[in-house]
Amino acid sequence: MEEIGAKLPKFSVRMKNEIQVKIFAQLMFVFFSMFTLSVFSQSGKAEKQLIKTVVIDAGHGGKDPGCHGNFAFEKIVCLEIALKLGAMIKAKYPDVKVIYTRDKDVFVELIERANIANRNKADLFICIHANAGSAAAFGTETYVLGLHRTEAQQKVMERENSIIALEDDKGAKYKDFDMSPDAIIAKQLQGAVYLNHSILFAENLQREFKKKGRYDRGVKQAGFLVLYKTTMPSVLIETGFLTNPTEEKFLGVKDGQEQMANSMFDAFINYKNQLEGKTVVKDTQQDTNPAVTPTPTTNNTATTNNSVANQSVTKDSTGLIFRVQIHTSDRKTSLTSSRFKGLEIFEYQQDNLYKYCSGVYQNDLQAAKIYKNELIENGFQNAFVVAFFNGERISIEKAIKLAEK
């Protein structure tokens, strides 16, 4: 890290342009990532890697409660899930060493959490957290080390990093940490294989959460201090929003915690098998839990890092339908335009204008409103709910009356 970081400033002087340095570093990172992932994915050519030690990090603890809802505190929720996950791994894989950064309600400094993983030469670092936001925000997301791309991702990073203020030196030990875009890119270049494995595990996690009916907010990147200092594949999981009453009722009780730990464990099994070259049996059955999150009825998969949920498709456009309108133009726009960020788009015409919507919610205005808030968080600032009846645009007032019937 020091060697690469030391070279970047010299390169900056030589190019006489800091922007060119960042572009070069990003291109190099993409190249090395694609190269290492390609080598890793070639059957028979990649060296099999055994997972011998796993470090499970329950976020917050002791004098740092983390976020909270009406009754549940992040530090307790994270600890319960962490202990359950560790017990599952120990039971199935007695040869795998499981280490907790904390196994009780105590405060552990951020850097010490990473140091525990590094000292024990862990093969995987799993950091467990719960999220905070508006009462409408919900769903799971998994982070790997990288550059945040949205304000929402930045806020999550800043909230989790802010606990250094509770440490004895008030975070003085971190003042020399270089968390600039150049430094993070250099870190990614140095540990490209670790990053690719982190992403692989993160994708497995999100896939398993979705099977349990959880709202998939995607795999994302941000500059978390605890991930920055680890020297192995590492992820930070945001299990859900304690500020959302529905999610708090799920995450704050034993059953919900058990379900989250089970999903993480299934993801671990898949990831371990993938690394060790074993056959992975894909379970396509959806174990949905409608009590956990609303169940929209469309397939909206944003390809950005801040993706909204993958949802079940409905082909029937008859009856009362709610959608979320995100764009209006006097000219036709391609449904695959980058402005739609990979969403599945519905187009209709009204008043000589082309209008574009995402989402299909049959008789479910509340779910459409929640999805609207998600789209706003993902950069569609002018999103609003619209209604259709048998394919015809109608007013929200009329739609509400129809829904009541």
Q: Are residues 153 and 227 in the same domain?
A: yes
Domain check: are 350 and 244 in the same one?
no
Distance CA 287, CA 276 (A): 27
pLDDT band at 318 (very low <50, low <70, confident <90, very high): low
For residue 142 the two structure tokens come to 């998994």
In a domain, 297, yes or no: no
CATH of the domain at 352: 3.30.70.1070
C-alpha 113, offset from chain centre: 21
Instruction: State whether 356 and 267 are in the same domain.
Output: no
pLDDT bucket at 42, cuts 50 / 70 / 90? very low
Residue 50, pLDDT score:
84
**Is 18 among the domain residues?**
yes
- What confidence tier does 7 reach under pLDDT thresholds 50, 70, 90? very low
**What pLDDT is stored for residue 74 in this prediction?**
96
Helix (H, G, I), strand (E, B) or coil at 394: strand
- The 8-class DSSP code of residue 217 comes to E
Residue 178 banded pLDDT, cuts 50, 70, 90: low
Reduced DSSP (H G I as helix, E B as strand, rest coil) percent helix, strand, coil of the chain, to 5: 45, 20, 40
**Of 219, 240, 275, which residue constitutes the final position of a domain?**
275
Are 171 and 69 contained in the same domain?
Answer: yes
| Chain position carrying tokens 């299909």 | 360
Domain membership of residue 295 (yes or no) is no
Sheet holding 140-145, edge to edge: 97-100, 53-58, 124-131, 234-241, 140-145, 216-222
284, part of any domain:
no
Instruction: Clarify whether residues 243 and 120 are in a common domain.
Output: yes
Number of compact structural domains in the chain: 2
For residues 183 and 330, membership in a common domain is answered with no
Does residue 101 sit in the same domain as residue 189?
yes
Strongest mean pLDDT among 87-96, 268-277, 309-318: 87-96
Whether residues 255 and 343 fall in one domain? no
One domain, residues 27 and 144 = yes
Looking at the structure, do residues 40 and 106 belong to the same domain, yes or no? yes
One domain, residues 8 and 134: yes
Choose the final residue of a domain: 220, 245, 275.
Answer: 275
Q: Which of 222, 244, 275 is the last residue of a domain?
A: 275
Q: Assess if residue 314 is contained within a domain.
A: no
pLDDT of residue 186: 53
Domain extent for 400 = 320-404
* CATH number assigned to the domain comprising residue 51: 3.40.630.40
> In this structure, what token pair is assigned to residue 93?
């894989």
Residue 146 lies inside a defined structural domain of this protein: yes
pLDDT tens readout for residues 65-84: 999 999 999 999 999 999 99
Helix and strand numbers (H, E) in the chain are 12, 11
Exposure b/e, 297-312, CB count within 10 A at least 16 = b: bbebbbebbbbbbbbe
32 found inside a domain: yes
Asked if residue 96 and residue 9 are part of one domain, the reply reads: yes
Q: Is 357 helix (H, G, I), strand (E, B) or coil?
A: strand
pLDDT over threshold 70, residue 297: no
Predicted confidence (pLDDT) at residue 273 exceeds the cutoff of 70: yes
Domain-embedded: residue 71: yes
Count of C-beta atoms within a 10 Å radius of residue 388: 20
Task: Please compute Rg for the chain using Cα positions.
Answer: 23
